[in-house]
Chains A and B, each alone.
Chain A
Amino acid sequence: MLYNNTATHIRRELLVKVASMAFRGTLTKEIDRIPFEMIPKEKPSIRCCIHHDRVVIKYRLMAMLGFALEKESDELRPLSSYAEEALDRVQVEDPVLTVIDEACSACVQSHYFVTNACRGCVARPCVWNCPKKAIQMIHGQARIDASLCVNCGLCQKVCPYHAIVKVPIPCEEACPVGAISKSPQGKEQIDFSQCIYCGKCMNECPFGAIVERSQILDVIRALQSNKPVIALVAPAMVGQFPGEYPQLVSALRALGFHQVYEVAHGADETIVREAKELVERIHSGETFMTTSCCPAYTRCVGIHVPELKPYISTTKSPMLYAAEKARQENSESLLVFIGPCVAKKGEALQSGMVDYVLNTEELGALLVAKEIDIPHCEPALILNTPSACARAFPIVGNVSQAVGKKVRELAAELEVKPFVVDGMDRQNIKLLRQMVKTKPEGNLVEVMACQGGCVAGPAVINKPVAAAKKIEDWIRKGTLQIKETEPVKVHS
């Protein structure tokens, strides 16, 4: 689905409203008005009526305040009361996704549907071939009994009139691990013991019923506190906003971050350690190793492909190395990771190394709320530059390239053959399952949950191709800049 649609628009507008109120300190006073402002009675409703629309807005806001909607116990409880609780909270929590069941339209029960093109033919191959006897002829047309249908699709294949169509359930179709399914009431629910936080369902639901639990309030409070707050900026962010990266750095400082730290520095650490690890593993006779930087992938292996676990590099992700470094330098500080990823929220919580996570959209909302225009910001001076390889991490293929290059430096005799798994759909998860037995066609397997790499993350605001180009341009320019300003080395 396209990134920009009515559902994303509403979400972003709401985020800006919440952020503005929180910055002004009027959240508890004003938040109950938002559903009414967004859905005024003069305008036509999106769903059945404005009241339903308003309730859905209320739930969206609750998720933005950080709550799990599954836990709601009192429907009468106003947003202001949730806001109060959120403003007092000391800790954010898992799971990072939640479902707005009022927004879920409870898509079709059965995926197959007989259209009017059915001629009620004499042969009736659909009735004959249905293994569950779920098809009956009613008023001269075939009808599928949803309670019996097992979605095998045979009827569709055999219909000579192509009268049977497949109606997908977008979220279920998008989930590569079958973690989302209908409750007995027909609404979708996520089984968090199976969910890998890839975030694919979130973007595919046309009703915007699956949402992230936001930590914007926690971040705003941190920025307003007297503790130093450090932004750990994912390399993917270079491609997400207008203006150039040094301007984004200034914008973050204007927002109140004390320090802006490129996670690409962490990636440099990952490259070295992962390369060393690969050399060791190959020397000890192992046939392959996989990268470890994508948290949706490592979570997926933990839950769904445990046999692959020993093959994942034990090297930490760039975010964690960056966090370690930032903490060492300033133990009192609060760390906020900023990236286009849902799974990083999970990784941050589980590692306990990063205090909060903001996604692209949420950062955008904070900047808009504060009226900070990135293209108008003076570019910051960036003194300490990570390597070009590290800055290129968010584009698929580059992690294994970087590690491979490092291995050649460490052990020229070893041949590194990268094998890239680009995107975790069902097909590729199957491939991962077979990998232990059949061995991959390479000894360094890079896995990215999002097809294209982090530039195509679930919470991006720029198109992946455009974002990748912007990153590449910046790497070229960024390295040129250092060359120009690099002090002349004096040999002694």
Chain B
Amino acid sequence: MELLKNARNIHVVICSGTTCYLMGASELFGIEKVLEESLASRINLEGSPCMNLCKGGSYGKAPFVKVNDTLISTATIPKVVEEIRRQASL
């Protein structure tokens, strides 16, 4: 159990396709800076090309972020942090 708590097992994917970027994804990369060290060391942060969630007029919901299997739309730093905390405490 201890081992698991220390592993980088929270996978955060910030969509950096054109739509998500236009709707503010660039700012979300600042997330590591606002997380405390114990959490920051557990996340694995990466960008992704368009995840195909923005098509069909749903660009209003961009930017999209995935925290493991949980999808966050209209993502903001506080929203993503909250989800990371939730998963970290599982």
Using Cβ atoms and an 8 Å threshold, which residues of chain B touch A50?
none
| B89 CB → nearest A CB, Å | 28
The residue that B50 contacts in the complex, of A9, A13, A364, A376, with Cβ under 8 A, is A376
Query: CB-nearest residue of chain B relative to A364?
Result: B22
A473 interface residue (CB < 8 Å to B): no
Q: List the one stretch of B3-11, B23-31, B37-45, B64-72 in contact with chain A.
A: B23-31
| B21 CB → nearest A CB, Å | 5
A4 touches B17 (CB 8 A): no
A310 interface residue (CB < 8 Å to B): no
Using Cβ atoms and an 8 Å threshold, which residues of chain B touch A367?
18, 22
A364 touches B27 (CB 8 A): no
The residue that A466 contacts in the complex, of B29, B50, B59, B76, with Cβ under 8 A, is B29
Q: Which of A367-410 contact B (CB under 8 A)?
A: 367-368, 371-376
For the complex, count residues of B whose C-beta is within 8 A of A. Answer: 22
In angstroms, Cα B50 to Cα A125, docked, is: 62
B17 touches A375 (CB 8 A): yes
A289 interface residue (CB < 8 Å to B): no
A2 touches B22 (CB 8 A): no
Using Cβ atoms and an 8 Å threshold, which residues of chain A touch B25?
242
Query: CB-nearest residue of chain A relative to B29?
Result: A466
Using Cβ atoms and an 8 Å threshold, which residues of chain A touch B29?
466
A273 interface residue (CB < 8 Å to B): no
A371 touches B23 (CB 8 A): no
Query: CB-nearest residue of chain B relative to A2?
Result: B27
Q: Which of B54-86 contact A (CB under 8 A)?
A: 54-55, 59-60, 76
| A342 CB → nearest B CB, Å | 18
In angstroms, Cα B50 to Cα A16, docked, is: 16
B27 touches A373 (CB 8 A): no
| A20 CB → nearest B CB, Å | 8
Query: CB-nearest residue of chain B relative to A5?
Result: B24
Determine the main DSSP class of A at the interface with B: helix
A36 interface residue (CB < 8 Å to B): no
A466 touches B18 (CB 8 A): no
Query: CB-nearest residue of chain A relative to B60?
Result: A13
The residue that B22 contacts in the complex, of A243, A251, A361, with Cβ under 8 A, is A361
In angstroms, Cα B47 to Cα A5, docked, is: 21
Using Cβ atoms and an 8 Å threshold, which residues of chain B touch A13?
23, 59-60
Q: Which of A199-229 contact B (CB under 8 A)?
A: none
B26 touches A368 (CB 8 A): no
A23 interface residue (CB < 8 Å to B): no
Given A16-B59, A376-B49, CB of A242 within 8 Å of CB of B21 = yes
Using Cβ atoms and an 8 Å threshold, which residues of chain A touch B27?
2-4, 463
In angstroms, Cα B23 to Cα A1, docked, is: 16
The residue that B18 contacts in the complex, of A3, A242, A462, with Cβ under 8 A, is A242
Mask of A238-255 contacts with B, CB within 8 angstroms, 1/0: 000111000000010000
The residue that A368 contacts in the complex, of B18, B30, B47, with Cβ under 8 A, is B18
The residue that A373 contacts in the complex, of B17, B23, B60, B76, with Cβ under 8 A, is B17
Using Cβ atoms and an 8 Å threshold, which residues of chain A touch B23?
4, 9, 12-13
Query: CB-nearest residue of chain A relative to B55?
Result: A371
Using Cβ atoms and an 8 Å threshold, which residues of chain A touch B24?
3-4, 8-9, 461
| A102 CB → nearest B CB, Å | 22
The residue that B59 contacts in the complex, of A3, A242, A368, A372, with Cβ under 8 A, is A368
Given contacts A372-B18, A463-B26, 16 further A-B contacts (CB under 8 A): A9-B23, A9-B24, A13-B60, A242-B25, A243-B49, A364-B18, A365-B22, A368-B18, A368-B59, A373-B17, A375-B16, A375-B17, A461-B22, A461-B26, A466-B26, A466-B29
11 A-B pairs (CB sep. < 8 Å):
A2-B27, A9-B24, A12-B23, A242-B21, A242-B47, A364-B22, A368-B19, A373-B19, A462-B21, A463-B27, A463-B30
